[in-house]
Amino acid sequence: MKIILIGIQGAGKSTQGNLLSKALNIPYLSTGHIFRELAKEKTPEGRYIKETINAGFLIPDEKTLQIVSEYLHRKEYEKGYILDGFPRTIAQAEAFENGINKVIYLRVSDKEALWRLSGRDDEREDDTLKAIRKRIEVFHRFTEPVLEHYNHKGVLVEIDGEQSIEDIQKEILEKIK
C-alpha cells in the first residue's frame, strides 16, 4: 500500500505515520527528515537546503522530485510506504504518479498547529515562530490545491486531526481498508 500524509506542520503527520507504519508493516518516510539530514552535510547542496528550510521556504519542485524518487527506488519501499511531506505543490503531485492508494489529509486549524508546535520538546533549528508561520502560509497557498488534485482522483481521505491520537489512527485505519 502506498499512502501519502498531508497536513500543516504540527498536524500530527509523523505521529500518525509512525503508528501506521507499525499497524500496516510498511516503512514511513518523511521528506522533512530527509531534508534535515541533507542540510547537515557540509556540501553546497546541504547549505542550500539548510538555508531554504530555515527560512520556511519549499525546496524547488525539480530538486524535491529527484530526492524523493531516489529514496523510493530503494529496496525497502518496494512493497509500499507512508510518505509524509510530499507532494507539496501541484507540479510535484502531477509529476509523481506513483500508484498512490490513499492520500490522508490531517486537518487542523492554524491556531491548533501553532499551539502544538510551541509545546514541542524537540525544537529544531527550523522551528522559529517566523519559519513556522511562513510554512503554514506556504501550505495554504501551495499544498491546499494538491488536496483538490487527489480529491478528483478519488483517493483523498480527510481526517479531523484535532481528535485524540488514538481516535485519529482508528479513523485512518477504518477509511483506508
User: What does each of the 177 residues of the chain score in pLDDT, given as a tens digit?
Assistant: 999 999 998 899 999 999 999 999 999 999 888 898 889 999 999 999 999 988 878 789 999 998 898 888 889 999 999 999 899 899 999 999 778 999 999 999 999 988 888 766 565 555 677 777 888 888 899 889 999 999 999 999 999 999 999 999 999 999 998
- What is the SS3 assignment for the chain? CEEEEECCCCCCHHHHHHHHHHHHCCCEEEHHHHHHHHHHCCCHHHHHHHHHHHCCCCCCHHHHHHHHHHHHCCHHHCCCEEEECCCCCHHHHHHCCCCCCEEEEEECCHHHHHHHHHCCCCCCCCCCHHHHHHHHHHHHHHHHHHHHHHHHCCCEEEEECCCCHHHHHHHHHHHHC
Instruction: Name the CATH superfamily for 2-176.
Output: P-loop containing nucleotide triphosphate hydrolases (3.40.50.300)
**What residue ranges do the domains of the chain occupy?**
2-176
Enter the pTM of the model: 0.84
